[in-house]
Amino acid sequence: MLNGPLLLTIAVLGGTGKEGKGLAYRWARAGYRVLIGSRSSEKAVTAASEIMQLLEGSSSVVGTTNLNAAQQADIVVVAVPYSAHRDTLESIKTALKGKLLVDVTVPLIPPKVSKVQMPPAGSAAQEAQEIVGADAEVVAAFQNVSYEYLLGEEEVDCDVLVTGTSKKARAEALTLVEATGLTGWDAGPIENSVVVEGLTSVLININKQYGSTHAGIRITNVPKPSAD
């Protein structure tokens, strides 16, 4: 099991974007050291300083390239559009040995983003597992959480289903979910990520039909998991 937040570094690849920046903010707020990864270190430095301003300088957020961020981190989060998923992972996979990879990617294929379209591997997370091999544990999480409120203090009305390659990896990811202030659930093996990733297209569909922008999901009738 990994150590407490203050000793851990999380790299957020694509942390300059909507979802990645919101998650990075929440982890920095919880006391993790956060590295914003980007294809452009300049862009990453700007995003990191935006987050530091929101946190009034009280946290450690640094911008750098995706590879440098992955090399320096204990935990690597990938939050890029599906079209960039494979290339991003191929470019950093040598830095993943013994680390936890948290995949936030949804395999949306524009323009039909409200239709479930899974890749041949089964899901984006399973594709990630194929790319990184046995060197890293892979979990899938946050696919159903809209970025909208992540950069604020408002409650995010959505649970997080965590699937992954081992129970230990899922437990580590659940600690990260808790640090964001959301409720996470162990949703089983990585093969189950197809359902969670697919749910995002269902939520996009609901947003379109009912005039919302951030439909979410809740697990009901189960006692809320405790942190311990």
Ligand X SMILES: NC(=O)c1ccc[n+]([C@@H]2O[C@H](COP(=O)([O-])OP(=O)(O)OC[C@H]3O[C@@H](n4cnc5c(N)ncnc54)[C@H](OP(=O)(O)O)[C@@H]3O)[C@@H](O)[C@H]2O)c1
- Contacts with ligand X, residue ranges (CB under 6 A): 14, 16-20, 38-40, 43, 79-84, 88, 104-106, 108, 142-143, 145-147
Q: Which of 23, 33, 92 is nearest to 60 (CA)?
A: 33
- The least distance separating ligand X from the CB of residue 163, rounded to whole angstroms, comes to 14
Beta strands of 143-217 (E only): which ranges?
160-164, 184-189
Beta strands of the chain (E only): which ranges?
9-13, 33-38, 61-65, 75-78, 100-103, 137-140, 160-164, 184-189
Report the residue number, 31 or 130, with the smaller CB distance to ligand X. 130
Report the residue number, 14 or 164, with the smaller CB distance to ligand X. 14
- The least distance separating ligand X from the CB of residue 62, rounded to whole angstroms, comes to 14
- The least distance separating ligand X from the CB of residue 18, rounded to whole angstroms, comes to 4
For 88-115, give one letter per residue: b (16+ CB within 10 A) or e: bbebbbebbeebbbbbbbbbbeeeebbe
- The least distance separating ligand X from the CB of residue 98, rounded to whole angstroms, comes to 25
Report the residue number, 8 or 203, with the smaller CB distance to ligand X. 203
Sheet holding 33-38, edge to edge: 61-65, 33-38, 9-13, 75-78, 100-103, 137-140, 160-164, 184-189
Two tokens, residue 102: 């948290």
Report the residue number, 96 or 125, with the smaller CB distance to ligand X. 125
| CB-side neighbour CA atoms (13 Å) of 44 | 23
- The least distance separating ligand X from the CB of residue 70, rounded to whole angstroms, comes to 13
Distance CA 164, CA 65 (A): 26
Report the residue number, 88 or 126, with the smaller CB distance to ligand X. 88
Report the residue number, 145 or 161, with the smaller CB distance to ligand X. 145
Provide the 10 A C-beta neighbour count for residue 17. Answer: 20
Report the residue number, 2 or 148, with the smaller CB distance to ligand X. 148
Distance CA 174, CA 161 (A): 9
- The least distance separating ligand X from the CB of residue 203, rounded to whole angstroms, comes to 9
Taking CB atoms, the residue at the shortest distance from ligand X is 17
